[in-house]
C-alpha cells in the first residue's frame, strides 16, 4: 500500500472504515476493496496504470475500478483490488457552449454540478435519472444510464459527444466519430491507439454478419459491448466513443466527456391514466407513444401504498392511483402552453377512445407528486424497510418489446408469488423497461441462493420474450454470468476479444462484462439485513 502512495499525489485510504464504506453500492452485493484511491490529476491516473501494470506483469493480482456516486445497482464499481474514486478531485466543469449546446466535464463530475452549470443557461443534460441528485457523470457513462426523458432523448449514449479515455498503455486518447478515411489514418499510427484501431476494426468487420444479427432488438440495451452501434447505418462513420459508453470502466477510465445539452422546455402538460387491469396497459402506452411525449412513466399499487405511508401529502394529490393496478404518466413539453395542450388534448382523446379514463393535470403540484412517487419507488423500500427485510435490487433492469409488456408483467408477478415476495415496480414504460425491487429476508437460510434462482428464472423469461436483461443499470456482478446465454457463445467470444484488445492484462474492473461467474455473484450477495 505504501508503494501506491509513492506514485500519486492524491490520497490512498486502506482503513477499515473506508474499505467497508466502498464495499457496497446500490446493488445486492458486498465486495471489500484493498484500498480506496483519490487521484488528484490525470497524471495520477496515468501513474496508477503504470504501477498496476508493473505489478501485474510481476505476477501480482491488482486492478483499478473507477467509481463516482456509488449508485450502481448491478455491482459495477465493486472490487477486491483498488477503487479509484474520481469524484473528490477530478470533477472540473468546463464552460457551457451555449451556441453548440455542449459542455466538457471531467469523469468525476457529479450530475448536480452539471445542473448548476447548465440550468442558468436554460440548458439540460437529458439523461434525467431518478438518482441524479447523487450520481456522477462517469458512472452514467459507464452504465449508459437513462431516465424519465429517455423516450424522447435517448440514454446517455445519445447525449455524449467525444470522450477522453485513459487506456491500458497509460496514455489518454480522444475518441469520437471518424470518417472511414480517418479510421484508415488512425490505423497507420505506430502507437497503442493505432494498434487498437487496426485490431478492433478488423474484429468488428470480420464478424459484422454475426454482430448485426445477434444484438438485442429492444429500444434500449446496456448488456454486453455495443459492437453493433460503432458504424453508422451507411458505414461511413465509426465511433469508438460509443464503445466506452456502457462498458462499466472495463476498457479504460473516462477522464473527460463532452456532454450534449438540450434546451429546457418552458411549458408542460401531464396526463395520468389509471390502469385497472394489465391487459389495458399496452394499448394505452402505444397510443400515448404515437404522440411523441417527453416522458411516459409508471408506478404500481405497491409503490402507491408505500407513498400513502411515507409521502401522504403527495399520495393524496395522486389519489386517482388508489385501488388501481398501476398508473401511466404521460408528459408533453414545448415552447408554448397552447402547443403542448394541443398535442396532449389529441392524446387524451385517442386514449379515451380505448375506453380508458384520462386525468388532465392542471396543478403543477399534482404533477410533481406523481413524479415524486415514481422516483421514490425504490428509495421508499430502501429507506423504510420492513422488519427483517431488505430491498434487493436484482430484477430492476429488464426490458421487453412493448407488445409483450402485459404478458411479461403477469408472468413476472406469478414467479414472485411463488416466493411470497413483497415488491414495488415502476419504470420507463414507454421504452418497455421496468424497475422491480423485492423485499427479501437475507438472514433466512438459503436467501442468497433463492435470489440468484429468481434472477435466473426472470432472465430466462426476458430472453424468451425477446427482451434484454439490462436496460441501463448494466451487467456488473449480477448479469455478467448470463451474457453468454443471452448473446450466444460466438458473440460472447467477441466481447472477450474486445476486452483483450483494449485491456490485455485485465487491469480495468475485471469480472464485469466478461469473466464474471454465477458462483462469484452468489458468494458476494449480502448475507444480512444490517
Q: Which three cell numbers stand for residue 87?
A: 469524484
Q: Are residues 287 and 242 in the same domain?
A: no
pLDDT reported for residue 343 = 98
Q: Are residues 185 and 329 in the same domain?
A: no
Residues forming beta bridges with residue 246, ordered by sequence position: none
Q: Are residues 158 and 252 in the same domain?
A: yes
Residue 139 in any domain: the answer is: yes
Q: Are residues 269 and 347 in the same domain?
A: yes
Question: Chain-wide mean pLDDT for the chain?
Answer: 95
388-411 pLDDT tens trace: 788 899 999 999 998 898 899 899
293-347 pLDDT tens trace: 999 999 999 999 999 999 999 999 999 999 999 999 999 999 999 999 999 999 9
Alpha helices in 387-475 (DSSP H): 405-418, 447-464
Residue 23 has pLDDT above 60, yes or no: yes
Q: Are residues 216 and 177 in the same domain?
A: yes
Distance (Å, rounded) from C-alpha 211 to C-alpha 400?
20
Q: Are residues 109 and 252 in the same domain?
A: yes
Q: Are residues 162 and 299 in the same domain?
A: no
Residue 146 in any domain: the answer is: yes
Q: What are phi and psi of 421, to 5 degrees?
A: -95, 135
pLDDT reported for residue 429 = 92
pLDDT reported for residue 527 = 83
CATH of the domain at 359: 3.30.70.2190
Place of cell 501506491: 4
Q: Are residues 294 and 366 in the same domain?
A: yes
Residue 255 in any domain: the answer is: yes
Burial of 284-317, coded b for 16+ CB within 10 Å and e otherwise, reads: bbebbbebebbbbbbbbbbbbebbbeebeebbeb
Q: Which three cell numbers stand for residue 269?
A: 402538460
Structural domain of 312: 265-375
Q: Which three cell numbers stand for residue 135?
A: 450520481
Distance (Å, rounded) from C-alpha 441 to C-alpha 495?
36
Q: Are residues 246 and 311 in the same domain?
A: no
Helix (H, G, I), strand (E, B) or coil at 394: coil
- Tell me which of 357, 375, 393 is where a domain ends: 375
Residue 106 in any domain: the answer is: yes
- Tell me which of 343, 375, 407 is where a domain ends: 375
Comparing CA positions, the residue from 455, 423, 447 lying closest to residue 437 is 423
Residue 371 in any domain: the answer is: yes
Distance (Å, rounded) from C-alpha 296 to C-alpha 427?
9
Residue 472 in any domain: the answer is: no
Q: Are residues 217 and 363 in the same domain?
A: no
Distance (Å, rounded) from C-alpha 135 to C-alpha 68?
7
Comparing CA positions, the residue from 8, 14, 70, 71 lying closest to residue 45 is 8
Residues forming beta bridges with residue 435, ordered by sequence position: 426
In this structure, how many other beta carbons lie within 10 angstroms of the beta carbon of residue 235? 11
Residues forming beta bridges with residue 433, ordered by sequence position: 399
Q: Are residues 334 and 286 in the same domain?
A: yes
Residue 395 in any domain: the answer is: no
Residue 381 in any domain: the answer is: no
Where residue 280 falls among pLDDT bands split at 50, 70, 90? very high
Structural domain total, the chain: 2
Where residue 2 falls among pLDDT bands split at 50, 70, 90? low
In this structure, how many other beta carbons lie within 10 angstroms of the beta carbon of residue 421? 19
Q: Which three cell numbers stand for residue 466?
A: 425477446
- Tell me which of 213, 241, 262 is where a domain ends: 262
Q: Are residues 232 and 145 in the same domain?
A: yes
Residue 289 has pLDDT above 70, yes or no: yes
CATH of the domain at 158: 3.30.465.10
Amino acid at each position: 500500500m505504501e508503494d501506491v502512495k509513492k506514485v500519486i499525489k492524491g490520497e490512498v485510504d486502506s482503513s477499515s472504515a473506508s474499505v467497508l464504506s466502498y464495499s457496497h453500492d446500490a446493488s445486492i452485493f458486498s465486495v471489500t476493496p484493498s484500498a480506496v484511491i483519490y487521484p488528484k490529476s490525470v497524471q495520477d491516473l496515468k501513474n496508477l496504470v503504470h504501477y498496476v501494470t508493473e505489478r501485474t506483469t510481476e505476477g501480482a493480482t491488482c486492478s483499478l475500478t473507477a467509481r463516482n456516486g456509488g449508485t450502481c445497482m448491478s455491482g459495477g464499481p465493486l472490487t477486491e483490488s483498488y477503487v479509484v474514486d474520481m469524484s473528490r478531485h477530478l470533477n472540473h466543469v468546463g464552460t457551457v457552449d451555449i451556441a453548440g449546446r455542449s459542455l466538457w466535464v471531467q469523469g468525476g463530475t457529479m450530475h448536480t454540478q452539471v445542473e448548476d452549470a447548465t440550468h442558468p443557461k436554460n440548458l439540460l443534460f437529458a439523461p434525467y435519472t431518478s438518482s441524479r441528485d447523487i450520481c456522477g457523470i462517469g458512472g452514467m457513462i459507464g452504465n449508459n444510464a437513462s431516465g424519465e426523458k429517455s423516450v424522447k432523448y435517448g440514454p446517455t449514449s445519445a447525449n455524449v459527444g467525444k470522450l477522453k479515455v485513459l487506456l491500458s498503455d497509460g496514455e489518454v486518447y480522444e475518441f469520437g466519430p471518424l470518417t472511414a478515411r480517418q479510421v484508415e489514418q488512425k490505423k497507420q499510427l505506430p502507437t497503442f491507439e493505432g494498434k487498437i484501431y487496426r485490431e478492433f476494426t478488423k474484429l468488428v468487420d470480420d464478424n459484422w454478419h454475426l454482430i448485426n444479427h445477434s444484438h438485442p432488438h429492444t429500444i434500449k440495451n446496456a448488456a454486453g459491448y455495443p459492437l453493433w452501434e460503432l458504424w453508422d447505418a451507411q458505414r461511413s462513420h465509426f465511433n469508438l466513443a460509443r464503445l466506452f459508453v456502457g462498458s462499466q470502466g472495463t476498457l479504460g477510465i473516462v477522464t473527460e466527456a463532452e456532454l450534449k445539452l438540450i434546451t429546457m422546455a418552458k411549458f408542460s402538460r401531464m396526463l395520468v391514466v389509471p390502469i385497472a387491469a394489465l391487459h389495458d396497459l399496452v394499448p394505452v402506452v402505444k397510443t400515448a407513444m404515437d404522440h411523441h411525449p417527453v416522458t411516459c412513466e409508471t408506478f404500481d399499487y405497491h409503490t402507491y401504498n408505500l407513498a400513502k405511508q411515507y409521502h401522504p401529502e403527495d399520495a393524496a394529490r395522486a389519489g386517482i392511483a388508489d385501488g388501481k393496478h398501476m398508473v401511466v404518466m404521460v408528459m408533453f413539453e414545448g415552447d408554448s402552453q397552447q402547443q403542448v395542450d394541443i398535442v396532449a388534448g389529441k392524446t387524451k382523446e385517442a386514449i379515451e377512445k380505448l375506453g380508458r379514463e384520462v386525468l388532465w393535470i392542471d396543478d403543477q403540484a399534482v404533477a410533481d407528486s406523481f413524479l415524486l412517487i415514481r422516483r421514490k419507488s425504490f428509495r421508499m423500500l430502501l429507506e423504510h424497510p420492513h422488519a427483517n427485510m431488505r430491498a434487493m435490487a436484482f430484477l430492476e433492469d429488464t426490458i421487453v418489446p412493448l407488445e409483450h409488456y402485459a404478458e411479461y408483467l403477469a408472468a413476472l408477478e406469478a414467479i414472485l408469488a411463488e416466493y411470497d415476495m413483497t415488491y414495488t415496480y415502476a419504470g420507463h414504460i414507454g421504452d418497455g423497461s421496468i424497475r422491480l425491487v423485492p423485499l427479501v429476508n437475507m438472514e433466512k437460510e438459503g436467501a442468497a441462493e433463492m435470489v440468484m434462482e429468481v434472477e435466473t428464472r426472470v432472465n430466462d423469461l426476458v430472453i424468451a420474450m425477446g427482451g434484454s436483461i439490462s436496460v441501463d443499470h448494466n451487467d456488473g456482478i449480477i448479469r455478467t454470468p448470463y451474457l453468454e446465454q443471452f448473446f450466444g457463445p460466438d458473440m460472447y467470444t467477441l466481447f472477450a476479444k474486445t476486452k483483450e484488445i483494449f485491456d490485455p492484462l485485465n487491469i480495468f474492473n475485471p469480472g464485469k462484462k466478461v469473466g464474471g461467474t454465477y458462483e462469484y455473484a452468489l458468494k458476494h450477495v449480502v448475507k444480512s439485513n444490517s
